[in-house]
Amino acid sequence: MNLTSPTKIKEILDKYQIKPSKSLGQNFLIDKNILDKIILASNLSKKDIVLEIGPGIGTLTQELAKLAGKVIAIEKDHDMVNILAETLKDFHNIHIIEGDALTLDPKPYTLYPKYKLIANIPYYLTSHLIRTFLECENPPQEIILLIQKEVAQRICAKPPFMNLLAVSVQFYATPEIISYVSKNCFLPAPKVDSAIISIKDIGSRIESSEFFKIVKAGFSHPRKQLANNFCSALKMERKAVDAWLLKNNIKPNQRAETLSIEDWKNLAQGAEGLGDRV
Ligand code: SAH
């Protein structure tokens, strides 16, 4: 079934008397070229297990199922689940689960020794999903997502334009923008453009609470100097903060956005002697 055809999508939605839901971020992919790019980047074989969030009417799902061994797709909207029963009826390697990815315990889906997370997700889920899957006990081998362009750019930022989200992702993995995607590739068209992002080299869970305490303190007021942020957020004396920064080759007047992942790791390692504040 050609599920990238706008006429076909409209026909299906009409048949089930459904209007795309804004609050569920329902913007269906209608561009075959973009679909091909996601599939190519996914590098799938029959050995792969794919987890998809928000399959919609099954456009991406059916292409994933043609190449992968198994696709597990989690969809919140009951109407979409009914549609999927029709559009994907010829596939026997797709398992649809009706559920909410926001409140979902990822454990049952991450028990496979290896799996890939591949999806065109509703934008409001982006940070939550990425955080959940990077931090879970058994993270995916690889994540490929179609997300809002600005968020993709923020995730891939480098010093001196870093931000908390970029540090949070790059601490665990290597993100890369595969392609930009025009808002006209969706029905209905959202307000903003999108991008395909791949997140690779995902490390297993490292003890990270101390690391993120420091990073969050550093970004507590992104426009302010790092030393001031640490003094107030970690309740430390200026002298101790300056010495800690200088020891790690960071100037106290630098801003958090200029620090690399390596800098943050050094700071976290060097924080052991700083007492219980960190
Ligand atoms: N992947 C499809 C649909 C994208 S629209 C495509 O490329 O065409 C986003 C989909 O996510 C919709 O089907 C919507 O119902 C679903 N969705 C929204 N919030 C969700 C949630 N919390 N958990 C699971 N699915 C959700």
Confidence band of 278 (pLDDT split at 50, 70, 90): low
Ligand 1 atom with the smallest distance to the CA of 186 is: 8
How far is Cα 176 from Cα 180, in angstroms, rounded to an integer?
11
Contact 41, 178 (CB under 8 A): yes
| Choice from 10, 59, 64, 75 to test ligand 1 binding pocket (greatest atom count within 8 A of CB) | 75
Q: Residue 130's pLDDT is what?
A: 95
Average pLDDT (208-212) is 84
Confidence band of 218 (pLDDT split at 50, 70, 90): very high
Contact 65, 39 (CB under 8 A): no
What digits encode the pLDDT tens for the residues 22-40? 999 999 999 999 999 999 9
Ligand 1 midpoint to CA 115 (Å) = 20
Fold of 6-200: Rossmann fold (3.40.50)
What digits encode the pLDDT tens for the residues 140-197? 999 999 999 999 999 999 999 999 999 999 999 999 999 999 999 999 999 999 999 9
Q: Residue 97's pLDDT is what?
A: 94
What digits encode the pLDDT tens for the residues 230-272? 999 999 999 999 999 999 999 999 999 999 999 999 999 877 6
Where are the CATH 3.40.50.150 domain residues in the chain?
6-200
Q: Residue whose CA is closest, atom 18 of ligand 1?
A: 24
Contact 245, 226 (CB under 8 A): yes
> If you average pLDDT over every residue of the chain, what do you get?
94
Does 58 contact ligand 1 (Cβ within 6 A)? no
Q: Residue 145's pLDDT is what?
A: 98
Contact 244, 267 (CB under 8 A): yes
Average pLDDT (62-75) is 97
| Choice from 4, 26, 132, 185 to test ligand 1 binding pocket (greatest atom count within 8 A of CB) | 26
| Choice from 50, 57, 76 to test ligand 1 binding pocket (greatest atom count within 8 A of CB) | 76
Stated pTM of the model: 0.93
Does 175 contact ligand 1 (Cβ within 6 A)? no
Tell me: pLDDT of 273 over 70.
Answer: no
Handedness of CA 25, 152, 223, 230 (dihedral sign): positive
Ligand 1 atom with the smallest distance to the CA of 56 is: 13
Q: How far is C-alpha 150 from the chain's CA centre? A: 13
Q: Residue 225's pLDDT is what?
A: 96
Does 59 contact ligand 1 (Cβ within 6 A)? yes
Contact 91, 85 (CB under 8 A): no
Domain spanning 209-277 has what CATH number? 1.10.8.100
Q: Residue whose CA is closest, atom 17 of ligand 1?
A: 54
Where are the CATH 1.10.8.100 domain residues in the chain?
209-277
